[in-house]
Structure 1
């Protein structure tokens, strides 16, 4: 129904806007069947909307093999999950065999496989049993004979033997259906390993494992075969591109050729090699408006190759297209297959010994000339002012016992040399023997 498709489309749009952490949290709190149902509807809707690139679902489930992923295998989605139970272990195989034999005893009940929830329940009972056996060996009495306690007591009265049971549970060290079982002082499970599974068209594949010490370790040894490209051979994909040398060019005799044979260049050869390895049919189509792709600020419509991808006119764009934030909001980019490599080259500077006038290098010569002229100008002005000022003229001092030659002789200390010396001292922020009056 149209309303259902609209709801799913809104959910898909919301998922695409989520970060990786949000997607992980979404998969973590969804049940297995809910994840499978939601992913299947999303892929079917993507197909109906003619979207070529499917979303990458990161489903963090402890029971990856518990889900029937037959429908999702045909969709080409990238689904990764956790597998907590190692079905290849002998102990797990023995319990699974007993489980199936138990189901066969009662034909009225539907036959079910052992899921990870059942394995966790089995391990939980085994942990409790081991803990109580250890308490019994240690002769610790945990019974409450004659004192059952009151559930509604206020304030609540804790069970005195509860600490002993908690300590016994923390000391459990066993190997269960979900691997090694061990708890830390806070009661959290530690020292366990989960398998990382990936959905391939040929079925689930183990690609690695995770534990607290080594974190994620890749162990994938399988190589995708031609069968892993399910569905790519059933249609011809439109590959939009743009004419730009040396990436895509028209051959000299392109009027006599048809299809992809009309073009040559780096991208043409790259697309041919990818099609050879993946085994799918494609058709090169030069973008009609000859643009890479930009959004109109008024109409919010995209043009160029980006527009053909957004509006479903093409499936893939192979071109020297720059990755920008605005484009990444509407289309998905692969990893760059070529770097432009433009750089600036300069001559390596040669080291030289400092010269006599190297102290002048911090400032330009014009600035040094202005400083010198300002120094001379201030000294000249000071000299002229002292000539006209009556306060700078005074009687000449004579040594004791000497007679003055002329009682009216006046002297001025601010001659031209003293003026230059005073200006230099003021410029260098140093003291001077004379000062203006």
Structure 2
């Protein structure tokens, strides 16, 4: 016994060890499914402060999961060729995101590559004039802060000196505000002046007494400029590192110098990082380095969030050619950019947060001033500093004609009958044509309708990774807006933006309209099921038998006369059947039960017949006046279970994609059939699908959006019909490229049109008011079908049959009685003859 117990214990221990090993193996396998390394590209000038900080920040996060692996290239940021080569080289290496700097000569190149390839670029450089959806700006915009400071000082006349390296984004904002407030602004490009030219400029300013100057240039040039000024000048420095400037020699002159400070170097958390930096590099930190450090923190936080959400962004091979025409965007780039924009953290530069355009938001700037004892804080700007988009930036879009891509699909977009005599947008009509006009009217922009070149809605090729159709035109910058019956799907939402749905719908089934079934000869029996009729017959027989059994019987002591009188109340079997039939037909008869038991049976039978006849009468009118269509298919389950009727979808649309991706058993079975059907059940366009339904004599069903199904049902020759409910629920939306400035105003316009019931009016107009088969509810309220002879032919047949049977029974009765009478007469004559013979 002890030996057995020991063996069992050892076996149990071995099983436990195996189970734990299997569990660990499962965990290990699960972990390998999530990436642990993230490759981050770096494009910095050789030996620059930003490059060293980037290397330092990545090194400090060596224990992070996922771990950042830098792919750094030293590059001339002013050379478009060098930047292109370096960017494409890193893209080919499979980097997940890129950090780097640019200047005015390469900013457009970087924005173009990032937008085309969907690669995020995180930069501490100045903000570009035009927004790029895949460029994340770490440097806060100074436009709002400068305008607030100008308003505070009350400057109406000043000089704006700028270096071309910083672009013209701040100057553009200042000039716009100057036009609104009647400011006098003199702009001077410092890159076009040498030292003698700058001295001559200062002499001119002295002569004109223009001592209020805004300086927007790099830190290295600021000290040289301030060394040439006198105490009469008041400078606003557009530099976010005011305390980093070497202003010691200007304290005695005490010129009026105001600027901004982004990094609070006295903050304990900043001091700790600064100390670690000094151990790494003895050079003092700068605000540009702090921006770079925060950029690495943002990248690390974004990929931690993606990993936590188990979103796979691993690079499996090359995503496509960098210089391809058109370039193939990286599929996971949308997820990465969205994760980067959603990061919220406290960094060296304060609160790090981004708006939907990828620019810093909700940041704080310290306003600094130069005093005789050095820089001192005079204020802070945390509200009104953001360069938030103004309504004019969204709605003042009249200076450009936007391209609206669409597709010919009735009733959404159609060519007018006289389109050859028309030009531009006037050639088109339909639901989407009017929708585009309404949106343009609400948003306030000019547009031109253009048909998509390949005639497709938009799908991604699994081999080349290229998008076709209207989606491709938005992705590759060939169009600005898509107004069409374009279904909102996950894969499309990853590369373009959709508004709220302007129409809700689902996949539905179209078949050829079946012929209406005429009522049968005995259709008057339809209000009650055959089972009920059989029960009524059995109840009739049963009640008659019970009446026969409970009839009163005369006592044996009665005489013949009394017995005859008592029998007048007796229910024989035929009298019982006759009484039950008369009661059922609501007619009655000349006899009725007199005994208590008989009356109980008669009462319950009358109650039974009352309910049955009332129910029958209530349903009879509907069954006799309504002509019902017998459809061979009523649902997707019916399609999947049969093999006589073929069914298919549009080749290359969202409906086909729905069945391909579905995990529901019925839809998987349908997709398996459609994929292997020969000949193919897929069609090139909706017209081909409808034509195939009409010509197939009920042997082909077409799966399409319910809205289109309902429209075709209203078109001549009115021989198609939608059967069953919708297979899914989705919507059509107006699409724009990622990061387009039109996205928000167009979305608001769609919502407004929906609230004003304009969208419902458009659908009624193009579906039913212009329909050729009558409104879907027409004739149902005020019109009742008249009964035809076929509806009630059965009761005439029964009447004729009853009369015929009655005549036949009368004839047989006559013959039978005549024969009996002849026999009686013959017997009587024989008896008389016998008596006479005697």
TM-score normalised by length of structure 2: 0.22
Which one has a bigger Cα radius of gyration? 2
Q: Which has the higher contact order (CA 8 A, sep 6+)?
A: 2
